[in-house]
A and B are shown apart, each in its own frame.
Chain A
Amino acid sequence: MDFAFIAAAHAETAQNVAHAAPKMDPLHHFQVVNYIKIAPLGFDISISNSVLWMWIVVGVVYGLFRLALRNPTIIPGRLQSVAEAGYLFVETMINEIIGHEGKKFFPIIFTLFFFVLFCNWTGLIPGSFTVTSQLIVTGTLALGIFGFSIFLGAYHHGWKFLGFFVPHGLPPALLPLMVPIEIISFLARPISLSVRLFANMTAGHTVLGVLFFFTATMAWFGAWLPFGFTVVFTGMEIFIGFIQAYIFTILTCVYINDSLHMH
């Protein structure tokens, strides 16, 4: 009678041992885990690791700038010059693309740039969560920007904003062809904006996950190779994180500019 029980327990331990053997799961760190479940009236607003890391990112950016500009001097210190370089980077971007009218959009664009940048970078810390690897996050950001640009265009131009879909200097015979093309290209904006960021982040971190797995499981004489790759790829990811934040912001500027000036 007891034997069956023991055998079952043994089978279970055997299974556990089998589970304990390393299993390749490079997508594991993209899983959203709910820490605190909150769902009033069916709306799921639980505190997940995604939410937690967004808060951390906001805190880090805020703290960094607070620290950098704690007692600003005319000749900036190390941290202050970083903050000033960030400010100038966004400012020249806005000046180049939107022009003088872009000044009033500076806060939102600056916030967006640093939020996306630090989401990308904090995701590289082992054990952290990459917020921008979730399509829902990047999609919400992109749809927000898209809606904002439509609102701006409608606000500044009214119904004339629909002229946005009619390219300049086009023979009227081509209009039935070009207008749908322009509309599709307009509607594709939020999708390409969100998918680009999401796909780059997901792909990069998956590659890192696979390489780390190889490093952990290979024998010592082979492990140095994937380990070297992880080092190279982490540097590459830092660069890509910056590039993606840059593209995301610069396209925001382009869309705002299109709404203001209608090319």
Chain B
Amino acid sequence: MKDPATEHGTEPPAQEPRRPGGMGLAMRMSTDLVSAVFVGGGLGYLLDYWLNTKPWLTLVFLFLGMAAGFRDMYRCASGETPPRPARKEKNGDDAP
């Protein structure tokens, strides 16, 4: 796996202990993917139950949930949100 720290051209500072970023990333991504699908499906099922449109909203929201899961995974992998390997940036809020 490519190390985001080297990818961005900033080296992790030497004095800091390396964080368990890689494994945390893996564990986070796997559950994020699954839980988003479940939440999407559950939401669709509830809406179906409420609006009496039996199978349709469940299907739609299941796919939306999958999309959300993949979006979470992408966001996690692209380093938009931690955990990531230690990379000290002085600008804590890179997005306004």
Binding site for B on A (CB under 8 A): 92, 95-100, 168, 177, 180-182, 184-185, 187-188, 191-192, 195-196, 199-200, 242-244, 246-247, 250-251, 253-254, 261, 263
Contact = CB atoms under 8 A, between A and B. Distances in A.
B88 A96 contact: yes
Contacts of A246: 19-20, 24, 83
Nearest to B37: A188
A99 B92 contact: yes
B81 A254 contact: yes
A196 B82 contact: no
A254 B43 CA distance: 24
Contacts of B16: 92
A247 B92 contact: no
Q: Is the interface of B mostly helix, strand, loop or mixed?
A: helix
A185 B67 CA distance: 9
Contacts, number: 92
Contacts of A188: 32, 35-36, 38-40, 65, 68-69, 72
A184 B40 contact: yes
Nearest to A182: B68
Given A199-B31, A243-B24, A246-B24, A187 B92 contact: no
B27 interface: yes
A79 B71 CA distance: 43
B83 A250 contact: yes
Given A199-B31, A246-B24, A247-B24, A191 B38 contact: yes
B71 A243 contact: no
B92 A184 contact: no
B20 A243 contact: yes
Nearest to B88: A96
11 contacts: A96-B82, A96-B86, A96-B92, A181-B67, A181-B71, A184-B65, A185-B68, A191-B39, A250-B82, A254-B81, A263-B95
Interface string B80-96: 11110010110011011
Interface in B22-64: 23-24, 27-28, 31-32, 34-36, 38-40, 43, 61, 64
